[in-house]
Amino acid sequence: MSLSPKYPVRTQRLLLRPLTADDTDALLAYRSRPDVCRYVPFEPMTPSVIKERLSAQWALTELTDEGQALILGIELAATGQLLGDVVLFWHSREHQGGELGYVVNPDFGGHGYVTEAATAMLRLGFEELGLHRIIARIDERNGPSARLARRLGMRQEAHLIENEWFKGDWSNEFQFAMLASEWHAQQAASQ
């Protein structure tokens, strides 16, 4: 199992591609915002944190082993603007399990761009990496993210109560999942 996409990954309106140092200002525009970071594991980022990530975790352009994560920038094809990012974690080779994550600059929210980008990530995960199951972990208070998971066709499987001490509170968490068989059925139904 491995994933080595041909870049850019094209969708109807978007280009997905690895992040570079040229994206620093665009990344800072949303990843430094407390509102954007409220329900994600990271804190608002500074330029030095972004620089460090760009040269380490975010420099990966393929998945060759479990434990790795592939983060791709979401670029609006019409303008070349970076509007957000999506990530695919490869958790387990044995269980063929992965996880999806996403963040958008609020200036670009509400147009379905993340749905489009996340669908492309599911496709890479299921059809190219060969995952069996992809999950999304979502804070109960994060309505837009839960709506997005449902729009992607993911099923809510769990509602965990106070399972993590998260940013100063016990947090309740929804877990969503999609199986490869469900992905293929959804693709067949949309033909």
Ligand X SMILES: CC(C)(COP(=O)(O)OP(=O)(O)OC[C@H]1O[C@@H](n2cnc3c(N)ncnc32)[C@H](O)[C@@H]1OP(=O)(O)O)[C@@H](O)C(=O)NCCC(=O)NCCS
Look at the block and give the residue holding tokens 């599911």: 122
Nearest distance from residue 157's CB to ligand X, in Å? Answer: 15
Site stretch for ligand X (CB under 6 A), options 4-12, 55-63, 105-113, 183-191: 105-113
- Gap between the Cα atoms of 101 and 135, Å rounded: 9
Nearer to ligand X by C-beta: 39 or 126?
A: 39
183 contacts ligand X (rule: CB under 6 A): no
Q: Which of residues 106-135 bind ligand X (CB under 6 A)?
A: 109-115
Nearest distance from residue 32's CB to ligand X, in Å? Answer: 13
89 contacts ligand X (rule: CB under 6 A): no
144 contacts ligand X (rule: CB under 6 A): yes
**Closest-CB residue for ligand X?**
112
In contact, 176 and 136? CB cutoff 8 Å: yes
Kindly tell me the burial class for residue 65, based on how many C-beta atoms sit within 10 Å of its own C-beta (0-12, 13-18, 19 or more). exposed
Coil, helix or strand at residue 6: coil
Residues in contact with ligand X, counted by CB under 6 A, come to a total of 19
Residues 122-138: b if buried by 16+ CB within 10 A, e if exposed? bbbbbebbebebbbbbb
Q: Which residues bind ligand X (CB under 6 A)?
A: 36, 39-40, 102-104, 109-115, 138, 142, 144-145, 147-148
